[in-house]
């Protein structure tokens, strides 16, 4: 994810998900608050629970989610996960 964000290098990522991931990263970069995520229903933004409390997830493809934490005004710990 870092390589995609910093260098626009999609190496190692699913080809069918790259455009969507680019859009998600752009939105996360400019997000004002977690409430802004509710305005994008097709990404199915939701907070995780249990030991993942404080982490958000966005739907990328069938089993893949873009996960991250909102730490004050910053987005942290961005990761692409197959957590299902």
pLDDT above 80 for 84: no
- What CATH number does residue 6 fall under? 3.30.2310.20
Q: Which two tokens stand for residue 17?
A: 């998900």
**Per-residue pLDDT tens for 2-61?**
899 899 999 999 899 999 999 999 999 988 788 888 888 899 999 999 999 999 999 999
The residue with greater pLDDT, 83 or 46, is: 46
Q: Find the domain containing 62 and state its range.
A: 2-82
**Per-residue pLDDT tens for 47-71?**
999 999 999 999 999 889 999 998 8
CB contact burial 51-77 (16+ within 10 A = b; e otherwise)? eeeebbbbbbeeebbbbbebeeeebee
- Provide the number of structural domains found in the chain: 1
């Amino acid at each position: 994810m870092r390589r995609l964000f910093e260098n626009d290098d999609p190496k190692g990522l699913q080809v069918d998900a790259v455009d969507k991931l680019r859009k998600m990263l752009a939105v996360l970069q400019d997000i004002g608050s977690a409430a802004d995520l509710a305005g994008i229903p097709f990404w199915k933004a939701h907070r995780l629970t249990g030991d993942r409390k404080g982490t958000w997830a966005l739907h990328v493809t069938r089993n893949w989610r873009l996960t991250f934490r909102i730490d004050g005004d910053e987005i942290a710990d961005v990761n692409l996960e197959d957590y299902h």
